[in-house]
Structure 1
Amino acid sequence: MRLRSTELAQNEVACYFSALELGLILLVMFVGDHPRVLPAHRHQTVILNRALAEDGELYARLEEALHGQVHSATVQELDLVNDKTIVDVRYAYTPRIHRPAAQATISAITTAARRTLSRHLPCIMP
């Protein structure tokens, strides 16, 4: 049995594997950079208006300011004279749910009314 195809030259094989490698690299970059893979992870440079040299205090202040969990913080500049800190931060953002003030007030009034009614009319209100 004999195959009738011609042999590939060395430069054709090199081009084939180079194209395959570039395609795989682009696929990996597309998947890794997709917003669904790490949707809450962010990276920022933050300037704080206090010189914070202690890691615990720095992380606590950054988590409070950024509303998330800090994974790493690299101090770029610590200026004790002007009292400022420049930090490169990587963190996971955790959105906070804010209820409008009117809705919170209505909810508080409704709860108070239920308590009053349940005290005065125990047979009607469960």
Structure 2
Amino acid sequence: MSVFIYIAADLVAISALVFGLYFPRHRRKDLIVSFLAINVGVMGVTYAMATADLTLGFGMGIFAVLSIIRLRSTEMEHNEIAYYFTAIALGLLGGFPSGNAAVSFTLMIVLLGVILIGDHPALFGRTRLTQLVLDRAVADEQVASELAGAMLGAHVHRIAIRKVDYVAETTACEVRYTLLSPSAQAADLAATEPLHESAPAGLR
């Protein structure tokens, strides 16, 4: 099959990944060019290695150069790293025109499907991971979990205490939690509010 069909398939796949999935969900413009460039660059290098009479040492040297490129200049989240490596995988599949076209195109679709489902906002949409600083020095994880749940309005699944500062009276921790529904939050708030006694009708 013509190499141009592979190139076209890769360009369609990376466009769907970047403009159809990543940007609408994460709205981070600076990574668009990174995903596009790494995809096309890997595709070009892979095609050159697959068609030229190169030694194994040369090929390993090329990928050694690629491996020392910094993955980020600013912090990337884990799901963004998944997009990054998916862009690389699509470029590798698009750079082997001598391979089985049906297998290559099927794998491209599978990769896009995995990102489509795995990073869908509706999948565990209320589940969060955050770094939290409590305004109390707490060494007990159970107590810290209750405080974090009250602050976040959520059900805490796991809490890991990272640092307890008894001088500043703070506790740094990592919290994995699920946000409560609005009705559950209202019920929880009502349960924690102190009871107020109403004044007798005759008092003014």
Query: Which TM-score applies when normalising by structure 2?
Result: 0.38
Pairwise CA distance, 1:67: 0.9
Structure 2 SS opposite 1:13: coil
Whether 2:169 is the aligned partner of 1:83: answer yes
Pairwise CA distance, 1:21: 2.8
Q: Does the 8 A contact of 2:141 with 2:161 survive in 1?
A: no
Aligned partner of 1:20 in structure 2 is: 106
Pairwise CA distance, 1:27: 1.3
- Flag structure 2 segments of 5+ consecutive residues without an equivalent: 1-95, 187-204
Counterpart residue type for residue 33 of structure 1: D
Aligned partner of 1:110 in structure 2 is: none
Aligned partner of 1:58 in structure 2 is: 144
Pairwise CA distance, 1:18: 4.5
- For residues 37-58 of structure 1, the C-alpha deviation after alignment (integer angstroms, 9 at most, x for no partner) is 2121112111111111101101
**Distance change >3 Å, CA 25–CA 56, structure 1 → 2:** same
Comparing 52-61 with 70-79, greater Cα deviation is found at 70-79
Counterpart residue type for residue 141 of structure 2: D
Larger Rg: 1
**Distance change >3 Å, CA 87–CA 15, structure 1 → 2:** farther
Whether 2:122 is the aligned partner of 1:36: answer yes
* Deviation beyond 4 Å, 4+ runs, structure 1: none
Percent of aligned pairs with the same amino acid: 24
The structure with the largest helix share of the pair is 2
Counterpart residue type for residue 120 of structure 2: H
In 2, the alpha carbon distance for the partners of 1:22 and 1:87 equals 39
In 2, the alpha carbon distance for the partners of 1:88 and 1:22 equals 36
Whether 2:159 is the aligned partner of 1:73: answer yes
The structure with the largest strand share of the pair is 1
Q: Does the 8 A contact of 1:68 with 1:91 survive in 2?
A: yes
Whether 2:138 is the aligned partner of 1:48: answer no
Pairwise CA distance, 1:72: 1.4
**Distance change >3 Å, CA 22–CA 72, structure 1 → 2:** farther
Q: Does the 8 A contact of 1:67 with 1:95 survive in 2?
A: no
Structure 2 SS opposite 1:51: coil
